Structure 1
Amino acid sequence: MNRPIARFGAAVLFAALALPALAHEASAASSTPTPQDGYFQTITPVAEGVWLIAQPQPFHIQPIGNVVVIEQSDGLVLIDAGGSPGAGRRIVELVRSVSAKPVKAVAITHWHGDHVLGATSIVQAWPTAEIIATDVTDAHLRGRSMKAYAKGSPDAALQAQFDKRLDGAETFLRDTLAKPDLSTRERDGFEASQRLLAQYRRDTRDLVLVLPTRTFVDSLKLDDARRPVELRHPGRGNTDGDLIAWLPRQRVMATGDLVVAPIPFGFNAYPADWERTLRAMQAQHPAVWIPGHGAAMRDDAYVGRVVDLIGRTRDAIAPLAAQGVTIDEAKKRVNLSGDRAHFVGDDAWLTRWFDRYWTQPFIDAAWREAKGEPIEQGEG
């Protein structure tokens, strides 16, 4: 993903900080997430033969993407693979806790690392599993977007570069916590993030990117007597290669990061296409929405709020772009505080990240769209 702090994406949301690298401190490396941090995934049923693997706490600066487990007659289909080898190993354990069947396929919703970098552990457990993606996502995984990650086997030089990026994230967290003006909520959030980053370091040892073995352009059906799965590329939105999974009999929709709660991610998005894509998904009338991050939803109320947010932001930006206003000036003039309150209320921690993960990057995307400038995917 090109995302957080400036980019949220492929693997290290922190990476865009571009801060100087420092050796990580032993105290941080030894810390472990607490149960209250809600970092380690759990598995819950969402329909008969369908489970969701997700982090109990739905928002983290460096998240792990949701994984959907679908039982078919001859094996299991996973939607996404988690964000690191360590997360992937935990996913394997959780999958085995609900079914003895093998994983036969893993469908990757988009190229961001928090949804794909756990695949190496999954294919170690089930070597014959297919890795499926849209042709556009496949190109990102093989190309510039994920050039920082080893393919096939670990690469010591690339691993060292990745670790150096995490040093910068640790510096950012330590420096931020030294500021006296943080609210209690913000301080708690940053202290939890230190613990999570220490775990993420452990989870991202021996990073290897597993590439797709099967691709499609518009749709691909994984047929089954009880739980057929329709994989679709509904159009551009959060990325240009988004994949969704539709279970027509159960009316379950797995969205990838086209839907993320409690804070949508707006980095390098395609605003008009995203709005159309979500409306088309709503027209299917899912009984269950499974977002890329966050809990399963039993109606489309949240999806409707995201659609409205996209539309209002585009409407606010279009006249400014026509007047020749710069991106920086547009960000100053457009006020999304009312919309932000609908998503995060007065939570100081989430308010901070709503502006970093949505307001700033999505205004940038909406401005580029209005000016007719290209929107390109970033690097993980």
Structure 2
Amino acid sequence: MKTFIGMLIVIVTVHSGWAQEPYEIQKIADGVYVFIAEDPTKDVVNGNSILVIGDNGALVFDSGTSLREAKWLVSEIKKLTTKPVKFVVNSHWHWDHWIGNQVFTEAYPQCQIIAHSSTRNAMMYQYPRFVKQALLTQGDMIATFKKELETGNHEGGDPLTTYEKKRWARTYSDLVKDSAETRQYRETLPTMTFDKKLTLYMGAREIQLVFLGNANTRGDAAMILPAEKILVTGDILVAPVPYAFGVSPRSWIGVLKNIASMDVHLIVPGHGAVQTDKSYVQNVIALFESSYEQVAAGRRQGLNAKDAITKVDIEKFRKIFAGDDEAKNWAFTNYYVKPMLDRMYKELGGELGE
């Protein structure tokens, strides 16, 4: 049990997964369950999913990164409620949040899929490229990981570290599982879109879908349960380390500050643990602002991207977000530092485009 602004918050673990299952199930309010995906620092990630049960149906926020994960979600949801899933919300276009759409429409043929209009447009453009790329590269990637694990060396000859061997083995296993179902993917796009806000009612249960601004993508949908004071963010917020691929840095900072000012008791991120206070949000804001200010300073000095980024010192934040954990440190470097500082430099030069 954890306290939040004077209130008693009780999060109950309904199903402890991860050892054999893709999610841990937590009940965070009456009729509200979070499916916490395992390890957000690994290479082949899966996003959190949320089940909201109303008087006359249910809603699922994010449908999983693969068909097998989505099938597991459906089977567990049917244990929690006999009510039909009427809505599936996709927080954004990244694969780990919507590949499971087809499984939900097969299990619940009447369900509507909802997303921001920009997200649907991105899905239409990105999905064929994703499947084509997966079919072209999965075999080579699997072969490379297998060879490096067998030889204990990188392709260039340098030996794998102990940590790399462990990480490579896990990634190899995940890729093999994914490759078996890639040809079964069927594009299942949103059937409803919104631009600013959409309010749904399932009996007395009110659900607000909102667009807070460009952040992790240019169509991030967040969900607010006003009665329960719960905010579900998608990848606007990810723990324990932010994901910063293809982001809008300056606007994202503003979105996070908006979240920090909201009257909510629980924040469910797109990956990672449920947040019971605003401390993690504040840490992310501080990290982003420090990074942005330092990259901007390099720009003002006329430095090129490489030199401007090299001068950025955010090691104090690395300690906050990653500590001595190898996986978190790897993620901090590869999921935050490398993509984010590059995006910031480009944005400051007006090079991100529309």
Shift of 1:324: 2.2
Determine which of 106, 123, 128 is the counterpart of 1:147: 128
List per-residue Cα deviations over 1:283-311 (Å, max 9, x = no partner).
Answer: 11321111101121111111111111111
Counterpart of 2:88?
A: 106
Counterpart of 2:217?
A: 239
Larger RCO, structure (CA 8 Å, separation 6 or more)? 1
List per-residue Cα deviations over 1:9-40 (Å, max 9, x = no partner).
Answer: xxxxxxxxxxxxxxxxxxxxxxxxxx866761
* Distance in structure 2 (CA, Å) of the matches to 1:319 and 1:249: 44
* Distance in structure 1 (CA, Å) of the matches to 2:19 and 2:335: 20
- Partner AA of 2:145 in structure 1: L
* Distance in structure 2 (CA, Å) of the matches to 1:149 and 1:372: 27
Counterpart of 2:63?
A: 81
Pairing 1:118–2:100 present? yes
Percent identical among aligned pairs is 28
TM normalised by structure 1 equals 0.82
| Preserved CA contact (<8 Å) 2:237 2:281 | yes
Give the SS at the match of 1:316.
Answer: helix
| Preserved CA contact (<8 Å) 2:92 2:234 | yes
Counterpart of 1:166?
A: 138
| Preserved CA contact (<8 Å) 2:35 2:49 | yes
- Partner AA of 1:76 in structure 2: A
- Partner AA of 1:247 in structure 2: L
* Distance in structure 2 (CA, Å) of the matches to 1:98 and 1:366: 44
**Richer in strand (by share):** 2
* Distance in structure 2 (CA, Å) of the matches to 1:173 and 1:356: 18
Determine which of 200, 215, 225 is the counterpart of 2:193: 215
Give the SS at the match of 1:354.
Answer: helix
* Distance in structure 2 (CA, Å) of the matches to 1:323 and 1:47: 51
* Distance in structure 2 (CA, Å) of the matches to 1:274 and 1:362: 11
Pairing 1:136–2:108 present? no
Counterpart of 2:270?
A: 292
| Preserved CA contact (<8 Å) 2:70 2:104 | yes
Give the SS at the match of 2:26.
Answer: strand
Counterpart of 2:11?
A: none
* Distance in structure 2 (CA, Å) of the matches to 1:369 and 1:315: 12
Structure 1: tracts of 5 or more residues without a match = 1-34, 151-157
Determine which of 280, 286, 291 is the counterpart of 1:308: 286
- Partner AA of 1:40 in structure 2: P
Structure 2: tracts of 5 or more residues without a match = 1-16
Counterpart of 2:41?
A: 59
Counterpart of 1:269?
A: 247
| Preserved CA contact (<8 Å) 1:39 1:57 | no
Shift of 1:335: 2.5
Counterpart of 1:6?
A: none
The alignment yields a C-alpha RMSD, in angstroms, of: 2.0
Give the SS at the match of 1:291.
Answer: strand
Determine which of 13, 28, 43 is the counterpart of 1:46: 28
Aligned length: 332
Change (3 A) 1:65 1:304: same
Determine which of 326, 330, 337 is the counterpart of 2:308: 330
| Preserved CA contact (<8 Å) 1:37 1:57 | no
* Distance in structure 2 (CA, Å) of the matches to 1:191 and 1:141: 30
Change (3 A) 1:36 1:232: closer
Change (3 A) 1:203 1:292: farther
The 4+ residue runs of structure 1 with deviation greater than 4 A are 35-39, 180-183
